[in-house]
Amino acid sequence: MARADWAADAVRDELRVYLRQHLSDPHGVMVIDETGFLKKGQHSAGVARQYSGTAGKVENCQIGVLVAYASRLGHALLDRELYLPEEWTNDRERCRSAGIPDGRDFATKPQLAQQMLARAFTAGVPAPWVTGDRVYGADRRLRMWLEAQPQAYVLAVSGQE
């Protein structure tokens, strides 16, 4: 995959077109979640000891933040961003060695989700609802941003937010 000549963002954009043409539903939902990719070494982009729901504990892993689309007509992965812990974004040489562009700054998982949702809204993805777990519901800025869209959402909260 690393040697393949393809543009991931262009594929994402084409998937949005497909989704609007074939899976579009006035009751569709965008789902925010993350997943962990367990790793042995320290050289893959974003690898760190961090909590992974995949493992159910703190492990050496990468975390991908994902937005999926689900409707009665089907479902598809809509967008993705690699979560980079601050230990990565604060070490530009390490980032360069892993192929991470210089302009990539630290962003929380909810900030990455907001960026992806903004792209989907701009592209006209039809989803009257956004949902996610408490990683996203705990972030007041994301909730306020969704309300300002206006965008209906259901995000889990711990009761302390």
Per the listing, tokens 């089907």 go with 74
pLDDT band at 43 (very low <50, low <70, confident <90, very high): confident
CB 75 within 8 Å of CB 24:
no
Question: What is the span of the domain harbouring residue 111?
Answer: 8-133
Q: What is the pLDDT of residues 72-92, one digit of tens each?
A: 999 999 999 999 999 999 999
CA–CA distance, 32 with 24 (Å, rounded to integer) = 18
Is 45's pLDDT higher than 90?
yes
pLDDT band at 47 (very low <50, low <70, confident <90, very high): very high
Q: What is the pTM of this model?
A: 0.91
Count how many domains the chain has: 1
Q: At what angle do helices 109-122 and 140-148 cross, to 10 degrees?
A: 10
pLDDT band at 2 (very low <50, low <70, confident <90, very high): low
Q: What is the pLDDT of residue 134?
A: 93
Q: What is the pLDDT of residues 32-42, one digit of tens each?
A: 999 999 998 88
115 lies in some domain: yes
102 lies in some domain: yes
The phi and psi torsions of 135 (rounded to 5 degrees) equal -55, -35
How would DSSP label each residue in 35-84?
Answer: EEEE-SSS-STT-EEEEETTTTEEEEEEEEEEEEEEETTEEEEEEEEEE-
Q: What is the pLDDT of residue 64?
A: 97
Q: What is the pLDDT of residue 8?
A: 87
Which tokens sit at 142?
Answer: 């994301």
147 lies in some domain: no
CB 61 within 8 Å of CB 37:
yes
